[in-house]
Amino acid sequence: MSFTIKNVLIPVEDSYATFDVQVVDGTICAIAPDLDVMGSEINGKNKLLLPGFFNAHTHSSEMWQRGIMSMLPLELWLAELYDFAPLDLEKVYLSALGTAVETLLSGGTSVVDHLVLIPGKELETIATAVRAYQEVGIRAFVAPLIQDESLTAGIPSGETQQNHEPYFRPTQATLAVIEETVKQFHHPEEGISILVAPTGIQLCSDALFAGCIELSEKYNLCRHSHLLETKAQEKLAQEKYGCTAVTHLKRIGFLDYRTTLAHCVHLSDRDITILSETQSTVVHNPLSNLRLGSGIAPILKYRQAGVNVTFGCDGASSNDSQDLLEAIKIGSILHNVTDLDYQHWITPRQAVEMASLGGAKGLNMADQLGCLSVGKKADLVMYDLTNLSLLPRTDPIGLLVLGRPSNVVDSAWVNGKQIVANGKVTTIDVDNLRQQLFNHSQWHTQRLSPTVTQIEPHYRSVMGL
C-alpha cells in the first residue's frame, strides 16, 4: 500500500507545480519535488493528480431502466419506475458494479448509494451492494432507501380527498432493518459506511425521521434524504406541515453537519439560512433536475450563504449516466444563466473543491478526505493529460471541468489501494460485467405504465396542467 508518484502535475494556489507524492499505508505522507521513492514508483509525467470526487447521490439499481424512462416529471416518473422495477439480487449486484465502474472512470472514488431495497430481502439487498463495492474497492456510503408511506401520498391532494394504501412494512420494522444493517455492515475504516436515509418528507412519517435521528446519534451515522426536488413537494410540505419542509426538518432535528440533502431545488431564502445554520450539505444533481423538469437549484445562493454543496449523478433512470465529470460540468455552468453577474459564477477550481472537499464535509470525513494534503487518506485520481479530449494543453482543470473528457482517468486509488491502472479497473473484470449486463437485458421501446395512466389526471389537475 506504499507508492510514490514521480513528477505529477498538481494544483497549487492559482497555478500548477510538478511534484512527487509519497503514500505510505494509505496515507499521503509527503508532497514535494525530488522525493525518494517509497514503495512502488508511479510515473506521473504529463498527468494531473486530484483528490477523488464524491458521487454523492445515486440509486445504483436504476441503471436497469436507464434510457427507457418516459419524459415525465418526478411524481409520474416514479410511478413508471416502480411499475417496471422487478429487481433481483443478481441485478442489484451488477448495477452496483456498473455504478462503481462509471463513477471511478469519471473521477469519483466515493459513491453514496441511496439503495432501493427488495421488499422482504432488505438485508440481502444491502449485503449484495456492499459485496459489489468491496470487490471494486470504491469507497461506499450505502444509504438504504426507506419510507413508510405509499407512492400516491407523495402527490399533493390539492382540494381533493385522497386515500392512500398503507405502506407494506411498519415503521418500526424498517428501523429494525436499518439497525441490523449498521451492526452487520457499518465499517468506515474498511471503506463501507451505512447512512440513515429516509426517502424524503413526501413519503416518510415523523416517526420514521425520529427513528433515523436516534440511530444516527447512537451509532454516529451520517444522514441522507431527498429534499424539495419538485414544485409538487413544495406544495405537499405546506399541506402536510403548514410550513416549509426545511422548517419542519429543522424542528424535528434531522438537519446537522452530518446531513446531506439531495436536490434542494425549491427552497426559500429563509430555508437557505436554516441549511447554513445547521451546516447541512446540498447534493446538487443538475442532470436529473433537468431531465425530470424539476427546476434549477439555487446553487449560487447556497454558496453565497455559506452552505456546503457537492455533486451527484442521481440514479441512472433520471440522468441517465453515472459520469461524474458531466454532473460537475453541468452543475457548474448551468447557474451562469441564473445570475447576470459573472463574478458569482462557479470556476473550474471551485467545482473541483465542491466535488472533493464538499463531499468529504457532507459525509463527515473532511479531516481524512477531500484534498491533496499530507496526512490525508490517499483517495486519489490521476488524469492523462495527453488524451485528445484534454488537448491542446491549456489549463488542465479548466479542460477537465468544462470540456467533455472521456477515457482520461489513468489511475485511481482508494485508501492507498490502486483500483484503476492504465485506464482500466483492475479489481473486477469489466468485460465480463458488460457481458452480464447485456445478457440480463433486452432492447425495447417505450412501455405503457398502468400506474401513470391511473394517477396522471389527478397530477395534472393539482399541478394546474
Amino acid at 193: S
Q: Please, what is the minimum distance in Å from the beta carbon of residue 430 to a second copy?
A: 7
Set of cell numbers at residue 350: 471551485
Applying CB under 8 A, which of residues 320, 363, 411, 416 lies at the interface with a second copy?
320
User: Least CB distance from residue 341 to a second copy, whole Å?
Assistant: 5
Q: What does the block give as the cell for 119?
A: 421488499
Quick note: the x/- pattern for a second copy over 362-381, rule CB under 8 A, is --------------------
Q: Which stretch binds a second copy (CB under 8 A): 170-178, 190-198, 255-263, 317-325?
A: 317-325
Closer of 256 and 456 to a second copy (Cβ): 456
Phi, psi of 105 (to 5 degrees): -80, 5
Count of Cβ atoms closer than 10 Å to residue 159 Cβ = 7
Work out how close the CB of 205 gets to a second copy at its nearest, in angstroms, rounded to a whole number: 29
455 is an interface residue for a second copy by CB under 8 A: no
Return the C-alpha torsion angle 230, 235, 240, 243, nearest 10: 100
Q: How many CB atoms lie within 10 A of CB 21?
A: 25
User: Per rule CB under 8 A, is residue 392 in the interface with a second copy?
Assistant: yes
**Is residue 83 near a second copy by the rule CB under 8 A?**
no
Before 320, cis peptide (omega within 30)? yes
Contact partners, residue 57, CB within 8 Å, separation at least 6: 112, 114, 224, 260, 262, 283, 285, 312, 313, 314
Cβ atoms within 10 Å of 53's Cβ, excluding its own = 30
| Shortest distance (Å) from residue 424 CB to a second copy | 12
Span of 50-58, 127-135, 198-206, 398-406 interacting with a second copy by CB under 8 A: 398-406
**Least distance in Å: CB of 143 to a second copy?**
23
The answer to whether 336 contacts a second copy (rule: CB under 8 A) is yes
**Segment interacting with a second copy (CB under 8 A) among 13-21, 159-167, 182-190, 370-378:** 13-21
Select the span of 117-125, 187-195, 235-243, 323-331 touching a second copy (CB under 8 A).
323-331
Q: Where are the alpha helices (DSSP H) in 195-283?
A: 206-219, 231-241, 245-251, 269-278
Determine which helix (DSSP H) or strand (DSSP E) holds 12, and give its type and residue range: strand 3-12
- Work out whether the CA dihedral 420, 424, 426, 430 comes out positive or negative: positive
Q: Is 441 in the site for a second copy (CB under 8 A)?
A: yes
What single DSSP character describes residue 166?
A: B
Q: Is 58 in the site for a second copy (CB under 8 A)?
A: no
Using rule CB under 8 A, residue 440 touches a second copy: yes
By CB atoms closer than 10 A (0-12, 13-18, 19+), residue 196 is buried
Stretch that binds a second copy, among 67-75, 120-128, 199-207, 274-282 (CB under 8 A): 67-75
CB of 231 to a second copy, least distance (A): 7
388 binds a second copy (CB under 8 A): yes
Nearer to a second copy, 181 or 289 (CB): 289
CA nearest 412: which of 53, 21, 45? Answer: 53
**What is the smallest separation between the CB atom of 204 and a second copy, expressed in angstroms?**
25
399 contributes a contact to a second copy by CB under 8 A: yes
- Per-residue x/- marks for a second copy, 400-439, CB under 8 A? x-xxx-xx----------------------x--xx--xx-
Q: By CB under 8 A, is residue 27 in contact with a second copy?
A: no
Among the listed ranges 181-189, 248-256, 335-343, 410-418, the one in contact with a second copy (CB under 8 A) is 335-343
DSSP codes of every residue in 133-148:
HHHHT-EEEEEE-B-S
Judged by CB under 8 A, the stretch of 9-17, 140-148, 158-166, 185-193 that binds a second copy is 9-17
Asked if 231 is part of the footprint of a second copy (rule: CB under 8 A), the reply reads yes
Measured distance CA(316)–CA(301) in Å, rounded: 27
**By CB neighbour count within 10 A (0-12 exposed, 13-18 middle, 19+ buried), where does 65 fall?**
buried
- Contact status, residue 368 vs residue 377, Cβ threshold 8 Å: yes
Could you count the other beta carbons within 10 Å of the beta carbon of residue 384?
Answer: 18
Residues 108-137 that bind a second copy (CB under 8 A): none
